[in-house]
Structure 1
Amino acid sequence: MSRVAVIGAGSWGTAMTGLVAPAVNEVVLWARTPEAVAALNRDHRNPNHLPDYTLAANVSATSDLSLAVCDADAAILATPSAYLRETCRSLAPHLAEDARVLVLSKGMERGSHLLMHEVAAQELGNPTRVAALSGPNHAEEICRGMVSAAVVASENAETAAFFQGILAGPTFRAYVSDDVRGVECCGAVKNVIAIACGIASGMGMGDNTLAVLMTRGIAEIGRVVAALGGDPMTCMGLAGMGDLVVTCTSEHSRNRSFGRALVAGETLESYQARTHMVVEGVPASASVLELAQERGIEVPITAGVHAVLFEGRPIGDAMEGLLTRAPRTEFYGMEEREIASKEKQC
C-alpha cells in the first residue's frame, strides 16, 4: 500500500489517520478550509478536533479533493452523513476506478432511505469496492491507544478483508461481515436512541431507565434491520449493541450529551456551534421515522425523539408516551427479514 486518502478532518477522520498510518507509505487528510490545512501541516495537530493528538509522521493535509485522492489506493470517507453525497460527487472525477472506498459516516439519506454505503456507491460507481465501518469507537480513546474494535462490512469479501488488513493493529481489532445493510442500519438508528438516553439522563432518570431504553432500542433497531433485509443478529454485535452501549453511556458521545443539553434548554444550533460537532441522530430521527411510516415499522423511541426535535412536543410528554405504551412480545417484528429478503430476490 502506498497512499490512502482520509476525507474529512473531524475527530473520527483525524483518529483514522493514526490507525492506517502504520500500514501505508502516505496518508493524506482532506480538510475543508485552508486555515485548518495550514495548521495541520505546520503543527501536525488538528486545531479544531483532538488538538492534543499528534499526527503520524507520514500524514499530510490538503483542502484540494483532487490532490487528496490522486494515485490513492483507497479513500476513507469521514464526512457527516448530510454531506456524503455532495462529497462523493466531487470525488468521482478524481478517484481511480479501482480504488477501494470505506465509509465511516453513519446515517440514512432522507427521501431515498439509502444507507451511506449505497449513497457512496451510487455516486462513485462499482459497489463491490465499497465497505462500511461501524463499532464502539470514540476517537478520543483511539487516539490514546486504548483497545477498540469495529466491524468492516461489505457485499464483497475481498473489499472487507482489504480494509480489515490496513486497520487491524495492536489496540484495534477489525472484524468482517457481509451484512452491510444490517451494520449500517445499526449505526444510523443507535444515534437516535442515544439522544433519548441523554434526555432521560438529563431528566434525572436512573440506570434502570437507561437500560430499558437501550434494550428496547436494540429491539427497535432490529425491526428496522429486518425490514431492510439485514440480519437482526447483527444487532447483537459491535455495530449494534457494542456501539449502542458506548454511544448511550459515554461522556464522549455527542448524541447523548446533546440529549442532556436539550433538557437544559440548549438548542441544536447552539450545541453544534459550541462543540464543533454534528449530532447525527437528529437527521437520522427524521429519515428513519419516514422509512418506518412508509414500511409500517414500529419505532416508538425514534418517534418520540423526532416529536421533541421537530414537532414541538414537550420532553416530559414524549417520555410519558413511551412509558404508557402497552408492552408486547419482546422481539416482535423481526420476522419481517424473511419477507424483505424474498422481495429483494424477486
Structure 2
Amino acid sequence: MAAATLKVCIVGSWNWGSAIAKIIGTNVKNQQKFTSTVKMWVSEEAVNGRKLTDIINHYHENVKYLPGHKLPENVVAVPNLSEAVQGADLLVFTTPHKFIHKICNEITGRVPKKALGIIHTEGIDKGPGGLMLISDIIREKIGIDVSVLMGANTAREVVAGEFCEATIGSKVIQNGILFKELLQTPNFCITVVDDADAVELCGALKHIVAMGTTFCDGLHCGNNSKAAIIRLGLVEMITFTRIFCKSQVSTATFLESCGLANLITTCYRRSDCKVSKTFPRTGKTIEKLEKELLNGQALQGLETSALVYQFLKHKRLLAKFPLFITVYRICYEGTPPTEILTCLQSHPAHL
C-alpha cells in the first residue's frame, strides 16, 4: 500500500507567505510525497471592494502583499484558520511574531500531534525566563515539533527566482530534511543544521545590529564604520546565543546563510532602515518616527532590543554586550546616536 501523501498548510499570506506559497505550490506538483493542493490561510480583508481570498483564488495573485507575481493554481486561499489547518501534516508559519499566540490559541487541538511545523518568523517574545523563542511557543501550545527557516534572502528576490540561500534548523534532523524537500529549488538552496535555536536567534538578534548600522548611516559614516558594527554585532550574537541556549552551539552555524549572510543582507537592505537613518537628524523619538514612516509596521529591532536588554540586565551581563546595550540606550534612554561610534572605539570585542 502506498504511503499517504502529506497535506501542506501555509499559515499566513503576507509577502513571505505568498513567496513561499509559490515555491511550495510549484514543488508539490512534481513530488509524489506531498498532496497537490496547498492551503494558505489568509487573514481576510477587502481590497478594492472584494475579498482578498476571492481575488487570490480567482486571479492567483496576492495583489495586496505580493503584486505582480502569479501563484500556482493549486494554492488555495482559505479565510478560516481552523479550516485551513484541519488535517494538515506540515504547517509553514510565515506570520509576524506578534500574531503567534493568537494563532496558536485558535488552532490548539485542531492540529494532529503527528504534524510538523516550520517557522519563517523573525522575533522573540517574553517568557518565564525573560525571553521565549517563537518556535517554543508553538511547541508548547500546539505540541508539535517545529523547525526554523532563516537566511539571507528577501521575499521579492525569492519569488522573482533570483538565487538565494537559506538555512533550516531542526532539533530532529530528518524533519528538517523533509522541509528541505518541500522548499528547495535550484535557485533557493537550503542547508539543514541541528542548531535550531541558534538559527532562530540569528533571525531576531540581527535586527538590533541592523539598527546600529543604520544609526551609522544617519550619521553619514562610511562603510568601514558600518563593517565594524557588523563585526561587533556578530560577536555579540554568538556570545548571546551561547548564553541563552541550553545545548552546545556551533560557531559554524553563524557562517551559514542564517548567520553572517543574513546579518549583512539585513544591515544593507531593509525597508525600516529609514527610521534609524532619519533618527540622528531629528529631535523625534524612535517610536514617533516608527509611526510616521512605517505605515503601521513595527520596527523589529526596537522590541527585540528591549527584550534582550531586560534579559541581560536580569543576568547581570550588560557589560558583555556593548553594542546591544548602546542601541537600546539610544532608542529608549535618550543616548545620542554618536555613542554608536564611541562604542566601537571603546570595545574592540573578540570571541
CA distance in 1, matches of 2:213, 2:308: 17
State the partner residue of 2:311: 291
Question: Is 1:125 aligned with 2:143?
Answer: yes
CA distance in 2, matches of 1:48, 1:258: 23
State the partner residue of 1:44: 60
Query: What CA deviation, in whole Å up to 9, does each residue of 1:7-38 have, x standing for no partner?
Result: 12221111111121123212222122242323
Task: Verify the 8 A CA contact 1:132 1:180 in the aligned structure 2.
Answer: yes
State the partner residue of 1:337: none
Query: What CA deviation, in whole Å up to 9, does each residue of 1:235-279 have, x standing for no partner?
Result: 2221110100111112xx234344224345561122331xx6443
Which one of 173, 176, 182 corresponds to residue 157 of structure 1? 173
Which one of 208, 221, 233 corresponds to residue 192 of structure 1? 208
State the partner residue of 2:49: none
The structure-2 alpha-carbon separation of the partners of 1:34 and 1:21, relative to structure 1 and needing over 3 Å to count, comes to: same
CA distance in 2, matches of 1:323, 1:123: 41
Q: Secondary structure at the match of 1:150?
A: strand
CA distance in 1, matches of 2:237, 2:107: 32
CA distance in 2, matches of 1:37, 1:88: 21
The structure-2 alpha-carbon separation of the partners of 1:175 and 1:289, relative to structure 1 and needing over 3 Å to count, comes to: same
The structure-2 alpha-carbon separation of the partners of 1:270 and 1:43, relative to structure 1 and needing over 3 Å to count, comes to: farther
State the partner residue of 2:227: 211
Aligned residues: 323
Q: CA RMSD in A?
A: 1.9
CA distance in 1, matches of 2:114, 2:182: 17
Q: Secondary structure at the match of 2:20?
A: helix
1:148, distance to aligned residue in structure 2 (A): 0.8
Which one of 265, 268, 271 corresponds to residue 293 of structure 2? 271
Amino acid at match of 2:207: N
**Which residues in structure 2 correspond to 1:1-346 (within 5 Å)?**
1-24=5-28, 25-35=36-46, 36-112=52-128, 113-126=131-144, 129-229=145-245, 230-250=249-269, 253-263=270-280, 265=282, 267-273=289-295, 277-297=297-317, 298-316=320-338, 318-328=339-349, 330-331=350-351
Q: Which consecutive residues of structure 1, in runs of 5 or more, have no partner in the other structure?
A: 332-346
Q: Secondary structure at the match of 1:267?
A: helix
CA distance in 2, matches of 1:323, 1:256: 20
1:311, distance to aligned residue in structure 2 (A): 2.5
CA distance in 2, matches of 1:279, 1:31: 23
CA distance in 2, matches of 1:203, 1:43: 45
User: Where do 4+ consecutive residues of structure 1 move more than 6 Å?
Assistant: none
Task: Verify the 8 A CA contact 2:290 2:298 in the aligned structure 1.
Answer: no
The structure-2 alpha-carbon separation of the partners of 1:262 and 1:62, relative to structure 1 and needing over 3 Å to count, comes to: farther
Query: What CA deviation, in whole Å up to 9, does each residue of 1:200-247 have, x standing for no partner?
Result: 112211010110011111001011111123333322221110100111
TM-score in terms of structure 2 length: 0.86
The structure-2 alpha-carbon separation of the partners of 1:58 and 1:116, relative to structure 1 and needing over 3 Å to count, comes to: same
State the partner residue of 1:335: none
The structure-2 alpha-carbon separation of the partners of 1:54 and 1:257, relative to structure 1 and needing over 3 Å to count, comes to: farther
CA distance in 1, matches of 2:163, 2:204: 23
CA distance in 1, matches of 2:321, 2:238: 10
**Rg (Cα) greater in structure:** 2
Q: Secondary structure at the match of 2:346?
A: coil
Task: Verify the 8 A CA contact 1:110 1:286 in the aligned structure 2.
Answer: no
The structure-2 alpha-carbon separation of the partners of 1:216 and 1:323, relative to structure 1 and needing over 3 Å to count, comes to: closer
- Higher mean Cα deviation, 56-65 or 258-267? 258-267
Percent identity over the alignment is: 24
The structure-2 alpha-carbon separation of the partners of 1:8 and 1:261, relative to structure 1 and needing over 3 Å to count, comes to: farther
CA distance in 1, matches of 2:100, 2:324: 23
Task: Verify the 8 A CA contact 2:168 2:180 in the aligned structure 1.
Answer: yes
The structure-2 alpha-carbon separation of the partners of 1:326 and 1:170, relative to structure 1 and needing over 3 Å to count, comes to: closer
1:186, distance to aligned residue in structure 2 (A): 1.1
